[in-house]
Amino acid sequence: MFAEVIINSNARALNRIFDYVIPKELEGQIKIGSRVFVPFGNSKIQKLEDGFVINIKQKSEFAENSKLKAIAKVDEKDSLTESNIELAKLMAYKYFCNISDCIKLMLPPGTGSKDSSKRMHEKTLNFVYLAKKYDEIIFELENSKRRSEKQTKIINFLKDNQGIYRPDLESIMEVTPSTIKTLADKGYVEFRAEPVKRNPFEHKEIKRDRPKKLNEEQQKCFDGIKKSIDSNYYSNNLIFGITGSGKTEIYMQLIKAVLDKGKSSIMLVPEISLTPQTIDRFLSRFGDKIAVLHSKLSQGERFDEWQKIKENKAQIVVGARSAIFAPVSNLGLIIIDEEHDTSYKSEMAPRYNVKDLANYMAKKNNIPLVLGSATPEISTFYYAKQSKLEDKKNKNYIDLYTLTHRANNAILPESKIVDMRQELHNGNKSMLSIELQEAIKNNLDNKEQTILFLNRRGFSTFIMCRDCGYVANCPNCNISLTYHKYSNLLKCHYCGHEEQVLTICPECQSTRIKYFGTGTQKLEEEINKLYPKATTIRMDLDTVTTKNSHEDILNRFKDEKIDILIGTQMIAKGHDFPNVTLVGVVSCDGQIGMPDYNGVERAFQTIVQVSGRSGRGTIPGRVILQTYNPDHYAITLAQKQDYIEFFNTEINFRKMLKYPPFCDIILIRFNGENLREVSLISSKIYLILNKIYEGSNNVIFKPVPAPVDKIKNNYRWRIIIKGKVTSKMIDSIRYAMDNVGKHNVQILVDINPSSLMWGRNGNS
Ligand code: ADP
Ligand code: ZN
Ligand code: ZN
């Protein structure tokens, strides 16, 4: 018997499949998914490499002419399942990436490293015990020269609470670690090591929460999906309902139904929405059956959560995109909340879309997939609407459930559009319209909070010479530099390049340098000038730097009642601020202006989402939308929160221009140091594919420089293909890539990228 093994390595040369002999004694143990150790290389000192078995076969074509080596060892503890491997293979094929990169996503956090000493281990902590008889200690304490009331108290406490976790003892007794250490030094207490699970939720007081009685719309949705749970069949469902319409309540009741069947659920939420508030809601309903996976946990915490799932101690996984790979047993339900969110598409290899994978897994396990959103992705809603008309067997069939009103009777904020052209016409050159200025003042007087949203960070987008038009560009990237006021530097948002601000134009020596555009820093400065007494806090990539500061900023805004929060996309979701009664969208125009097929969709979603931050408490909220395009449908319909009308308008454009859902978009990206080579290789690929697609429905566009065509001294070109992603399409691209000869150009294929403005996202 032979095994196909993929070596667990980043080295490119090893990223192939190798055949190994399965020794007789290991035959029973080695399965698809087994982690194995294999000899590798020809050197005399044979090193063992670790890898995974991805296939088992009777014959090997390499067995005849070369002497195949044999597998040395199996590691059963760290093995994967056969379905893991199947998924990894599928991903590698569809998303043009290495199997080993996909496998890494399925390994326990921290175990991808080959060096086993670097791997995570279960943590051992100190538990405090009395070191001798209680009476003895008390006797000694009472007769010592320096009697300590505190020490006696601790010993008394320990008498009834032996084995308490050391930090808990410190906090309950309100003493420092040194006090405990003194007791240990005197021989009164001792520490014992016991393995414990690091629990990211400890020290949290969780109120128990009971299921709510569902309203009629919720019940209909619940019943529909529950049928698929009860009768074990695949279904794809969309819950379309505004914020607060009770989607999460339905998710929780479905999860309960799955739990009652002894099965597990995976619930995905956008990374940025994985706030303590969100997690607490699930914890208070399900307690320790929850495991949470997200990037803010320490590696150790993530490892423990992963183990909890693997050992089936937690049956509910709440997490960001990659939680789909959690090792759940007996999967019964997958939920994707805010299904339109761009974070569900990975922008790094493997460039997968988790919605595709979730759909695949739901089909395979005969379980429901539930998508939820107030502003579903245009394609999702299209399939859901189409499904009503078409045959259930259609592979894109989606059941649509609509929730039309807020479950807790909160009213939607009143929203107004302000035409910034008119402001300019009236001589107001500020970033804030008179109306928004007055609304902010009003809020300050009433001690209510305000959120100001702006899509661009920094102080000003670019710097230009008034006399000759010179613009300060990054020397490494073909993009203008952004002025950062506090550091007084020009920064490149793509490569991090920094330089001193200009006072004299390098081209014409003029001193008439002008700062154009707007950013969060400039807005903050303007606010501080207009309202010197107001407190402000800013949240963007420049202020969110340490591990927790995203959370910290939001907490400070809430707890310290800071008057105004200024921020980029980062503030659009997650938290609930009951005292926010005014949201100002300083500019609605950023995404609309992008030459991106889904720019308008993103703009609509963002405006609706940000607007939803206003008036969540008892006082009704207001929203002010500033724009230079007051008649654009994305803005007028976002103002009315009219998703259906927006969908109807947008879908017509998509149909006319042949964009998703009427086709898929394949972006082939070329990246290299040598401009001529980049252009040459992209042309070669184009010619091969153009020939193949002749007479088909696929449309391929000539290679062109990317919107930002040089980043970190690498030239970037791209080809766009519009067509359906089928295996024929995938094979054609592979064929082209394999037939352009040797070169030094990196070629990346991105299936339905969330933006075509490749490299254009350096602004948040
Ligand atoms: P969404 O997920 O759509 O934003 P939630 O499920 O969070 O909505 O519901 C919004 C609020 O309404 C929550 O406070 C929730 O507890 C409450 N709620 C939801 N469903 C009901 C119900 N059937 N009866 C009473 N309150 C409900
Ligand atoms: Zn000049
Ligand atoms: Zn740069």
What is the distance of C-alpha 697 from the center of its chain? Answer: 34
Q: Locate tokens 């128990």: which residue?
A: 208
Instruction: Return the biggest CA–CA distance within the chain.
Output: 100
Question: Does the structure show a pLDDT above 50 at 684?
Answer: yes
pLDDT bin (cut points 50, 70, 90) of residue 642 is very high
Residue tagged 């008119």 (tokens): 422
277: confidence class by pLDDT, cuts 50, 70, 90: confident
Distance CA 361, CA 355 (A): 10
Q: Is the pLDDT of residue 574 over 70?
A: no
Ligand of minimum distance to the alpha carbon of 507:
2
| Cα(477)–Cα(479) distance, integer angstroms | 6
pLDDT 10s digits, 326-357: 999 899 999 999 999 988 999 888 999 999 99
Ligand number nearest to the C-alpha of 409: 1
> What's the whole-model pTM score?
0.82
Which residue from 216, 284, 408, 576 has its CB within 8 A of the most atoms of ligand 1, so it is best to mutate?
408
Give the chain's mean pLDDT.
86
Contact by Cβ (8 Å): 193, 126: yes
Q: Kindly report the protein residue whose alpha carbon is nearest to atom 20 of ligand 1.
A: 246
Provide the token pair at 178: 């040194």
In angstroms, the CA 5 to CA 701 distance is 39
For residue 667, pLDDT over 60 is answered with: yes
* Predicted confidence (pLDDT) at residue 118 exceeds the cutoff of 60: no
Distance 593 CA to ligand 3 centre (A): 23
CA 465 – ligand 2 centroid, Å: 5
> Which protein residues touch ligand 1 with a CB less than 6 Å away?
212-215, 218, 241, 243-249, 407-408
Smallest CA-to-CA distance from 236 within 325, 88, 412, 358 is with 358
Residue 105 reports pLDDT greater than 50: yes
CA-CA distance, 355 to 368, in Å (whole number)?
A: 13
Residue 137 predicted with pLDDT over 50? yes
Distance between CA atoms of 247 and 318, rounded to whole angstroms?
A: 15
Least confidently predicted of 81-90, 94-103, 163-172: 163-172
What was the pLDDT predicted at 272? 77
Band (pLDDT 50/70/90 cuts) for residue 256 is very high
Q: How far is CA 439 from CA 444, 534, 562, 609, in A?
A: 9, 14, 16, 20
Provide CB contacts within 8 A for 591, sequence distance 6+: 455, 599, 600, 602, 603, 606
pLDDT digits (tens, 9 = 90+) for 404-463: 887 766 677 899 999 988 988 898 888 899 999 999 999 999 999 999 998 776 555 667
What span, in angstroms and rounded, lies between the C-alpha atoms of 49 and 712?
A: 34
**Beta-strand pair 489-491/664-672:** unpaired
Q: Which atom of ligand 1 is nearest to the CA of 214?
A: 23
Whether 203 shows a pLDDT value over 70: the answer reads no
| 498 to 504, 513, 728, 760: CA distances (angstroms) | 17, 18, 46, 18
657-666 pLDDT tens trace: 888 999 999 9
Q: Which of 484, 566, 580, 555 is nearest to 530 (CA)?
A: 566
* pLDDT at residue 740 tops 50: yes
Report helix angle 166-173 to 149-160, nearest 10: 130
User: What three-state secondary structure class fits 151?
Assistant: helix
CA 398, CA 389: separation in Å to the nearest integer? 11
- What's the CA gap between 304 and 113, in Å, rounded? 17
Cα-to-centroid distance, 484 and ligand 2 (Å) = 21
Q: pLDDT tens digits for 174-193? A: 788 888 888 998 889 988 76
In this predicted structure, what is the pLDDT of residue 764?
34
Ligand nearest to the CA of 243: 1
Mean pLDDT on 150-167: 81
Q: Which residue has the higher pLDDT, 687 or 756?
A: 687
Cα(494)–Cα(481) distance, rounded to whole angstroms? 9
- Alpha carbon 578 to chain centroid distance? 26
Pocket perturbation via mutation, ligand 1, pick of 223, 239, 249, 371 by most ligand atoms within 8 A of CB: 249
* CA–centroid distance, residue 462 to ligand 2 (Å): 14
Predicted pLDDT of residue 457: 61
Q: What angle, rounded to 10 degrees, do the helices at 276-286 and 247-260 form?
A: 40
DSSP state of 26: G
Residue 508 CB contacts under 8 Å (≥ 6 apart), including other chains: 465, 467, 468, 470
Selected residue with higher pLDDT from 364 and 755: 364
The three-state DSSP-derived secondary structure of 525-564 is: HHHHHHCCCCCEEEECCCCCCCCCHHHHHHHHHHHCCCCE
Asked if residue 571 has pLDDT above 90, the reply is no
Going by CA atoms, what residue is nearest to atom 4 of ligand 1? 244
294 vs 329, higher pLDDT: 329
What percent of the chain shows pLDDT beyond 90?
48
**What pLDDT, on a 0 to 100 scale, did the predictor assign at position 110?**
65
pLDDT value at residue 357: 97
Band of residue 119 on the pLDDT scale cut at 50, 70, 90: very low
Q: Name, of 29-43, 201-215, 569-583, the range with top average pLDDT.
A: 29-43
Of 721, 706, 727, which Cα lies nearest the Cα of 658? 721
Ligand nearest to the CA of 405: 1
Q: What is the mean pLDDT of residues 18-43?
A: 88
Using DSSP's 3-state secondary structure scheme, residue 257 falls into helix
Q: Measuring CA to CA, which residue among 436, 414, 410 is closest to residue 622?
A: 414
How confident is residue 271, by pLDDT bands cut at 50, 70 and 90? confident
Query: Could you give phi then psi for residue 26, rounded to 5 degrees?
Result: -100, 0
Q: Is 646's pLDDT higher than 80?
A: yes
Which pLDDT belongs to residue 52?
93
pLDDT band at 200 (very low <50, low <70, confident <90, very high): low
CB burial string 265-277: b at 16+ within 10 A, e below: bbbbbbbbbbbbe
Please calculate the CA angle 78-79-83 and round it to the nearest 5 degrees. 140
Give the pLDDT confidence of 480-525 residue by residue, as tens digits. 788 877 778 888 777 778 888 888 888 899 888 877 667 788 888 8
Ion ligand 2 neighbours (CB, 5 A) are: 465, 467-468, 470, 505, 507-508, 510
Lowest-pLDDT range of 274-278, 334-338, 360-364, 694-698: 274-278
What 8-state DSSP symbol labels residue 70?
B
- The average pLDDT across 103-111 equals 81
Report the interhelical angle of 149-160 vs 177-185 (nearest 10°).
Answer: 80
Instruction: Report yes or no: 562 and 429 within 8 Å, Cβ to Cβ.
Output: no
> pLDDT value at position 763?
35
Spatial distance between the Cα atoms of 311 and 327, rounded to a whole number of angstroms: 9
Is the pLDDT assigned to residue 762 strictly greater than 70? no
Tell me which of 66 and 187 has the higher pLDDT. Answer: 187
Half-sphere CA count of 598, side-chain side, radius 13 A: 21
Q: Does residue 207 surpass a pLDDT of 80?
A: no
Q: Identify the weakest region by mean pLDDT among 6-10, 85-89, 140-144, 342-346.
A: 6-10
Q: Which of 23-37, 381-395, 513-527 has the lowest mean pLDDT?
A: 381-395
Distance 250 CA to ligand 1 centre (A): 9
Query: Can you tell me the mean pLDDT for 675-698?
Result: 96
What spacing in Å lies between the alpha carbon of 528 and ligand 2's midpoint?
32
